Chain A
Amino acid sequence: MTATELVGLTAAEAIGRIRAGELEPAELWSAYQQRAQADDLNAYTWVADADAPAADPAAPLAGVPVAVKDLFCTEGIPSQAGSRILENYCPPYTATAIQNIYDAGAPLLAKTNQDEFAMGSSNENSAYGPVLNPWDRARVPGGSSGGSAAAVAAGLAPWATGTDTGGSIRQPAALCGIVGFKPTYGAISRYGMIAFASSLDQAGTFTRDVTDAALLLEAMVGKDPYDSTCLGLPEPVQPPTATDLRGVRLGVPEELSGEGIEPGVLAAFERTLDIARDLGATVESTHLPHAAHGLSAYYLIAPAECSSNLARFDGVRYGMRVDDGGGLLDMYTGTRAAGFGDEVKRRIMLGTYALSSGYYDAYYGRAQKVRTKISEDFESAFSAFDFLVTPTSPGVAFELGAKSDDPLAMYFNDFCTVPMSLAGIPALSIPNGTAQAPGGSSTELPTGFQIAGPAFSENKLLNAAYALETALAFDSSPAREAS
């Protein structure tokens, strides 16, 4: 097989060939390693330079290499979370989710670029430079897991891990035309995932298709004695097989599928609903009355938790230290002023304020109440519907720099994805076509279709997504061929 043919395989197809003895894992490794080393999207912050590691074709992932978001700690390998403050930081241990992937037989190919500490929706907040979208290099790949999304879309990796706090898997997957899956909060251990907002952070997958998502997810999930908030999943993740959506009730929350969504994205969304109906699903509009407040609640809860989670970066034990002999306070402020980027500082200040005595009830306390209301909205919606569907991102990929000076416009990227994060429920984005960017651009860019289900409904969700994916027959090859 040529290298181009090799990287055209999905991970599941590659595993099939390896098992059949038609493909050597080392061949696959070399093809991807070469592409990864030639990465010109800035998708990677570290690429393995070793020869192909020993692989076990009988292992679940059969030696198909994986790219890992830099937010995950990998022993002895730089894990910088997109931040200057962790430049060249090599942890002494490996995150549970990544160890699980190793144990399932997939070696580490590369670490992917990301927004600093997962704070961002465009990957422009990385201390290691922005990641380019393989569909149009003048545009962002989305964020915060932009490097993982771009790498998988461009064929620089068969698949990748990501983390999603308010949409950081689903939105970049949508903007790059691939599948992004954020499972139920607590399905995958957070141990070794550098924390942004602990009550929201959830690891997940970037894959070419839904079958690969099921495979990689099954490798990652599981209880962990090192994470008491991790429950695993009640049953193993199965490869999806559904060919129709007969009997499936889809709800379309009006609050997340109208105002503020680009017309091209909405048109693609409507076309997908038609396909769903053709497959036998019923589609009805519904309401999540508090969903519109999701962003406001999210931008209080996440910064509050981040202000505390990032306190440990103080220059004392690891990472950057700026100490010009001015004493302890000077070392703290010097280190953090030089080590953190603007968006991180903005959120630390927001969160510190929201937790301050006298403001706690009005901000953090109230945001938690909104969060509870949103969970209740979903609960009542799931009594009438199997899944709720929305556009994943309000728009297609935007141009680099377009929203850099407008934090609120940037935060709006998470409008459709944040409510599911607040409720802790599983949600997945599949590519459902392309649309032109607003403003007269003729470039066709991918759009995403989000499917959300009740907690622990992963297998059903994957099956519904698989049936839709098959009918949609989205062609993701242009992004690979351009790279």
Chain B
Amino acid sequence: MNVELEPVIGLEIHVQLKTRTKMFCSCALSFGEEPNTRTCPICLGLPGTLPVTNAQAVHFGLMMAMAFDCEIAPKSIFHRKNYFYPDLAKGYQISQYDIPLCSNGRLGDVRIHRIHLEEDAAKLVHEGASGRIHDSDSSVVDYNRGGTPLAEMVTEPDLRSAEQARDWLNLLRVTLRQLGVSDVNMEEGSLRCDANVSVRPRGSSELGTKTELKNMNSFRFVMQGINAEIARQTALVQAGEPVVQETLHFDPVTGRLSSLRSKEEAHDYRYFPEPDLVPVAPTEAMLERARTAIPELPAAREERYGRDFSLGGDTARLLAYEPQFGDYFEATTQEATAGVSPAVLANWVTELRTRIGASSDPAESKVTPDALAVLAALVTERRINASAGRQVLDTLVAEGGDVAAIVEREGLAAMDSDEELAGIVKAALEANADAAAKVRDGNAKAMGPIVGYVMRETKGRADGGEVGRLVREQLGI
């Protein structure tokens, strides 16, 4: 049988929150410090210690709830998730369970089922051949990460392809970064993504058996992993074989998925309400504080750039997702003279981005928004040509300065006398009579040597379009 299959994908995302201290104690968060230097009796789970909920983590959770249009529980509670593992100092993880902080939200065209707060586990290092705990010679535990605040987000199964999953994950990443709640770095683990994947006949409304994909720690691996799993499940279904519900581990070296099923996975977590904590009951003041802390988010900014500046989709998204370039672009529109379109300014901002790199902040470059606006105006008004404009930008990036002065110093001004240019074109036609004849006979490609002559004579200052116009005029075509 060869029915057309449709992938159905949902994501589970762990976001490390960028609070000053850990979820339940006052240890500073760790960024690669010496092992076990960011610990205290509480996050080491010493006898007698108690957790206290980090108010900033709750604040960040409320900001996320509002950014994603979630419902906020009037009283959410923490549970204990019990299991034995050396990365868990207390023998249980404190996590929200049946009443999460946020539920029923949306980002873009993906519904968010829930967002809850919890604490991260410590880091285990297995010393031995496989890097897995069961056949390692010994294991050491670094508790620095233990207790780092996490927001776990679960989406509804609204995604239909690996590419869509990647794009949505990117929107989530830039949105969380704009919110300022996380570093959202997949390679460093501050953004972690698991995927639930199933396939079903296209048009069906039932869900197929899903598998859970873990350990995809980059955007590329998320794509690879999901695509590999879609292919695997598709082959199974086409062959009439069942998909088994299981957890699969993505191997970044081979790009393959392997089953994680083992005894250690068969847990009964014995959830029960954490008696050491009181419920999280956000007050009106807390909600208001979260509301006012939310900046304009990338999706809204993209929409605004399309609406107010008529920017094309890709440009609008680029400037919205990299808000430092978006901010800079908006600064150039403030400086620009009439007649210079925002689209032209946006193009010059992307030219600048190419030169300084996407991760740089243009506001800290040597190119002021004013200088870029002046440059865009000179090109628009044909007072210098586009290639001269790029040359000016190179100089600005390297040493800054005044655009007019650079144009003057480097002799880049377009020729301001039409008669002078017309004279040079006339000389070019005489010097390239053969080519001129071909052009007159309709061979536009023969224009090359004529234009080349003019550019040599004018040292590149002539406007290419104007040269073409004069050639055709003088040849009477």
Contact = CB atoms under 8 A, between A and B. Distances in A.
Nearest to A358: B268
Contacts of A93: 41, 46
A226 B47 contact: no
Interface stretch (B105-113, B218-226, B270-278): B270-278
Interface in B385-417: none
Contacts of B90: 311-312
A327 B84 CA distance: 14
Contacts of B268: 356-357
Interface string A213-247: 00000000000011111000000000000000000
A91 B47 CA distance: 8
Contacts, number: 106
A193 interface: yes
Contacts of A364: 272
Given A311-B91, A317-B89, A193 B48 contact: yes
Interface in B89-145: 89-92, 133-134, 139, 141
Interface in B302-357: none
A57 to B, nearest CB: 31
A311 B85 CA distance: 10
Interface stretch (B49-57, B179-187, B422-430): B49-57
A288 to B, nearest CB: 23
Given A308-B82, A312-B90, A357-B270, A198 B276 contact: yes
Given A73-B47, A229-B278, A356-B268, A314 B84 contact: yes
A228 B272 contact: no
Contacts of A72: 48
Interface residues of B, number: 32
A192 B48 contact: yes
A305 interface: yes
B86 A79 contact: no
B82 to A, nearest CB: 5
B47 A194 contact: yes
Contact of A311 (B52, B92, B272): B92
Nearest to A72: B48
A326 interface: no
B201 interface: no
Contacts of A91: 41, 46-48
Interface in A77-95: 79, 81, 86, 89, 91-93, 95
Interface in A294-337: 304-305, 307-308, 310-314, 316-318, 327-328, 332
A195 interface: yes
A355 interface: yes
A111 interface: no
Contacts of B46: 73, 91-93, 317-318
Contacts of B134: 327
Contacts of A227: 50, 52, 276
Contacts of B133: 328
Contacts of B51: 228
**Top 5 A-B pairs, shortest CB-CB distance:** A311-B91, A198-B275, A355-B270, A199-B275, A192-B48
Given A190-B50, A332-B84, 14 more contacts: A86-B47, A93-B41, A226-B49, A229-B277, A308-B92, A311-B82, A312-B90, A312-B91, A317-B46, A328-B86, A355-B271, A356-B270, A357-B268, A364-B272
Interface of A: 72-73, 79, 81, 86, 89, 91-93, 95, 190-195, 197-199, 225-229, 304-305, 307-308, 310-314, 316-318, 327-328, 332, 352, 355-357, 360, 364
